[in-house]
Chain A
Amino acid sequence: MAEKTIDLTLKVWRQESPDVEGHFDTFPAKGISTDMSFLEMLDVINNQLEKEGKEPIAFDHDCREGICGMCGSVVNGHAHGPQEATTLCQLHMRKFHTGQTIVIEPFRADAFPIVKDLVIDRGAFDRIIQAGGHITVRTGQAPEAHSVPVPKKKADTAMDSAACIGCGACVAACPNASASLFTAAKISQLCHLPQGHPERNRRVIAMVQQMDKEGFGSCSKRYECEAVCPKEIKVENITTMNREYLRALASSGE
């Protein structure tokens, strides 16, 4: 198949540091191969900028294969761009057409301060995970595999929740900048498994408290998070989180 190229106009959010005002810079992006990924397109633009002696666009990335959760920007109003269930690094330029203007903004939420341009600080997610604390596993020799039976359905549910890569698109898309989907996925991946049971009550309370403390909003059930999630984490996780919370409230102490 012959290589196809497209010409675009980029409007990119530029912000020197967390505390200064940001603005949009407009760049022409000519001759972009449709086989490129979105991040490769940004690499090309950055090479040009560097040649011209200008500051390249700062953006986050690591694996570039949709598993690490580092990448992510809001592209024309869509977190991770217009393709469903796809991280920005896995989005291809064939999803765009010649003449199009692409507006690229960072994930915006007060709990995710902008470090520079499109790079945000997702430390708040780490602190929510930390608040969750440990699970009881015995260290030492691996236990006999059959000693802790896990029903298939529960294992699948936990696995689906564990698919969350913590990219923050749910927060970016939520009108309330709520971290409910993320927090709920992390709670759900543990509460369905026997290993996560002993701490389940303490865990859900602590993680929800941390979520509030970080300055995220609450869930209004608008389902924007589910729609943009690159890993198709479902709002059902939030149902699980709320159920866990009720259970924790009902049980006294641990």
Chain B
Amino acid sequence: MSDTASFSSRVSTSVARELVVAVTGLGLIVFILGHLVGNMLIFAGPEALNGYAEKLASLGELLWVLRLGLITFAVLHIGLAAHLTWANWSKRTSRYAVTAAVGRKSVASQLMIYSGIIILCFFFFHLWDFTFGTKTGPGTVVPLMGGQEELGLFGLVWNSFANPLRAACYIVAVCCVGLHLSHAIASVWVTLGVLTHRATDKADAVAWTIGVVVALGFASIPIYVLVRTYIIGQGA
């Protein structure tokens, strides 16, 4: 009894860890969706995107509170998910000679840790590239836009994506986010104790849809820049 009652033993079970992965995962999804909506401002031109970036920057301390929250969520999510995955790998040391997957789940569910690792690597590259990138000077001048004008974050992003190799890396990374979500958004409702048997198909469909929307939404930006740069290169 005392064993089950102790707080630390209650929160260190596999189920408790999964609950934390689920809650932090949901938090990260809220961030990702907000990020996606913000990014769409790029289609409204330099002023819209730069204005949005300035507004975020003007949050000052609040921005750092949000960032710390995000970092905490990410650390918990990644740490516990990786730990669970690692533990799960050692539960069957004698392998089956023949295996036949019969469950309803697709590749996305098998690739969670791998899509996650790619997202993590991409996260650091992405910070270095944009968050800490120089938003003034020649790197922000977009030749395509005719003038010599420095275009701030907009220019930085544009020039980054005008490099096909870099654009390709971004597209692969956001597809991994989409893949991760296409399983995660269905799975999370089981972990949080709300998914009924009857709603399983619907949850899969919703997760898949959001995964595709997120991947296509983020990928639309590098694709747009590539198309404008190499195919229909006219002024903005």
Interface size class of chain A, counting residues whose CB lies under 8 Å from the partner chain: 35 or more
Question: B232 an interface residue at 8 Å Cβ cutoff?
Answer: no
Question: Which of A24, A224, A226, A240 has most chain B Cβ within 10 Å?
Answer: A224
Please pick, from A24, A228, A239, A242, the residue contacting B102 in the complex, using a CB distance under 8 A: A228
Given contacts A221-B190, A238-B190, contact A111 B18 (CB under 8 A): no
Query: B94-113: contact bitstring with A at CB < 8 Å (1 yes, 0 no)?
Result: 11111111111100011010
Question: B148 an interface residue at 8 Å Cβ cutoff?
Answer: no
Nearest CB in chain B: distance from A104 CB, A: 10
Please pick, from B18, B96, B102, B192, the residue contacting A227 in the complex, using a CB distance under 8 A: B102
Q: Which residues of A contact B100 (CB under 8 A)?
A: 76-78
Question: A49 an interface residue at 8 Å Cβ cutoff?
Answer: no
Q: Which residues of B contact A24 (CB under 8 A)?
A: 97
Question: A154 an interface residue at 8 Å Cβ cutoff?
Answer: no
Q: Which residues of A contact B97 (CB under 8 A)?
A: 11, 13, 24, 103, 105
* A239–B91 touching, CB < 8 Å: no
Give how many A-B residue pairs fall within 8 Å (CB-CB): 149
Cα of A4 to Cα of B79 in the assembled complex, Å: 58
Query: B1-25: contact bitstring with A at CB < 8 Å (1 yes, 0 no)?
Result: 1011100011101111111000000
Q: Which residues of A contact B189 (CB under 8 A)?
A: 239
* A105–B13 touching, CB < 8 Å: no
* A246–B19 touching, CB < 8 Å: yes
Q: Which residues of A contact B18 (CB under 8 A)?
A: 218-219, 242
Cα of A215 to Cα of B91 in the assembled complex, Å: 7
Nearest CB in chain B: distance from A139 CB, A: 22
Question: B92 an interface residue at 8 Å Cβ cutoff?
Answer: yes
Question: B197 an interface residue at 8 Å Cβ cutoff?
Answer: yes
Stretch at the interface among A36-44, A54-62, A143-151, A175-183: A175-183
Please pick, from A22, A103, A109, A241, the residue contacting B15 in the complex, using a CB distance under 8 A: A241
CB-CB contacts below 8 Å: A91-110 with B? 103, 105, 108-110
CB-CB contacts below 8 Å: B32-47 with A? none
* B187–A77 touching, CB < 8 Å: no
Give B residues with C-beta under 8 Å from A: 1, 3-5, 9-11, 13-19, 84, 87-88, 90-105, 109-110, 112, 183, 186-187, 189-197, 200
Contact sample, A vs B, 19 pairs, CB 8 Å cutoff: A105-B97, A110-B94, A176-B91, A177-B92, A178-B91, A217-B88, A221-B105, A222-B103, A222-B105, A225-B103, A227-B102, A227-B103, A235-B200, A239-B194, A239-B196, A241-B193, A242-B192, A245-B13, A253-B5
Give A residues with C-beta under 8 Å from B: 11, 13, 22, 24, 74, 76-78, 103, 105, 108-111, 114, 173, 175-178, 202, 205-206, 208-209, 211-212, 215-228, 234-236, 238-246, 248-249, 253
